[in-house]
Structure 1
Amino acid sequence: MSKGKVIIGMSGGVDSSTAAYLLKEEGYEVIGVTMGMWQEPGETEGCGNLSAVKDASRVAEKLGIEFHVLDFRKEFRENVVDYFINSYERGMTPNPCIACNRHVKWAALLDYANKIGADYIATGHYARIEKHPVTGRYSIKASVTAAKDQTYALYRLTQEQLERTLMPVGFYEKDEIRKIAANIDDFIAKKSDSQDICFIPDGDYGAFLERERGKNHCPGNFVDMEGNVLGQHKGLIYYTVGQRKGLGIAFGKPMYVYGLDVDKNEVILCDNETLFSRTVYANQINCMSVPEFTDGMRFRGKIRYSHKMADCTVRMVGEDLLECTFDEPQRAITPGQALVLYDGEYVAGGGTILGAKLPIHQRKNEAE
Structure 2
Amino acid sequence: MALQKTENLNISGFDPMPSPRAIHDAVPMSDQAAATVLTGRATLQAILDRRDPRLFVVVGPCSIHDPEAGLDYARRLKSLADAVADRLVLVMRVYFQKPRTTTGWKGFINDPNLNDTFCIAEGMEQARRFLRTVTELGLPTATEALDSIAPQYLWDLVCWTAIGARTSESQTHREMSSGLSTPVGFKNGTDGAVEIAINAILSAAQPHSFLGINADGVTSVVRSRGNPYGHLVLRGGGNRPNYDTVSVAMAEEALNKATLPANIVIDCSHANSFKRPELQPLVMHDCINQVCGGNRSIVGLMVESFLEAGNQPIPADLTSLRYGCSVTDACIDWPTTERMIRDAHAALSEPLLSRRAREVRTAARPPEA
- Please report the TM-score for the alignment, with normalisation by the length of structure 2: 0.30
Q: Which has the higher helix share?
A: 2
Q: Which has the higher strand share?
A: 1
Which structure would you say has the larger Rg? Answer: 1
